[in-house]
Amino acid sequence: MGYACPVCDTPQRDGEHLAHHLAFTAMLHGGDHESWLDDHASDWSEREPAELAAEVTPHAEDAEYEEVFEDTVARGRPDVGMGSGGADPSAHGGHDHCHAHGGDPSPGAGVPDPDAVDDPAVAEAIREARELTREAAADDADAEDAEAEDSDSAGDAPDRDA
């Protein structure tokens, strides 16, 4: 049993999670969450999570919060309607095979397929994140190549101290 957010009804595990949800949503998006906090805990941005939780939980309704454990779902996360992005965990003994054996995960591992996402805005955000990741990886590879060339050419330089 947990608490439903008094603004958007999203279930939260406990009072501190509710406090975090309200505060982070208010800081990132403002809007109704920020207005609600301003009305019910005007100094919300100055409070510790436990202190804010004590203030907001009396205003929240009890809600079912389905507890999910890592060994019960693929990649330790519940499928929240965005596609699981992963294969059957039992295929490799219930663990992420690449990470467990020191390899790199496949590109996009654990990320939902944008075509399987119900919300077009979420699908577009995933596509954009993938593109930014590709660009960052390419930039990193270029930087590593340049660094390797610099160190190779530095090794060919004559020793001036000799």
Q: Are 33 and 25 in contact, with CB atoms under 8 Å apart?
A: yes
Per-residue pLDDT at 58: 95
DSSP assignment of the chain equals -EEE-TTT--EESSHHHHHHHHHHHHHHH-HHHHHHHHHH-TTGGGS-HHHHHHHHGGGSPEE------GGGSGGGS---SS---S--GGGGTTS-HHHHTTPPPPTTTTSPPGGG-S-HHHHHHHHHHHHHHHHHHHHHHHHHHHHHHHHHHHHHS--TT-
- Tell me if the pTM is above 0.75: no
Q: What is the pLDDT of residue 90?
A: 43
Give me the tens of pLDDT residue by residue for the chain, a chain 162 residues long.
789 999 999 999 999 999 999 999 999 999 999 999 999 999 999 999 999 999 999 999 998 877 765 555 555 444 444 443 444 444 444 444 444 444 444 555 566 777 877 788 888 888 888 888 888 888 888 888 888 787 776 655 555 554
What's the pLDDT score for residue 18?
A: 94
Dist. CA 144–CA 78, nearest whole Å: 37
Task: Return the pLDDT at 110.
Answer: 60
What is the reported pLDDT for 123?
Answer: 81
Q: Are 38 and 30 in contact (CB under 8 A)?
A: no
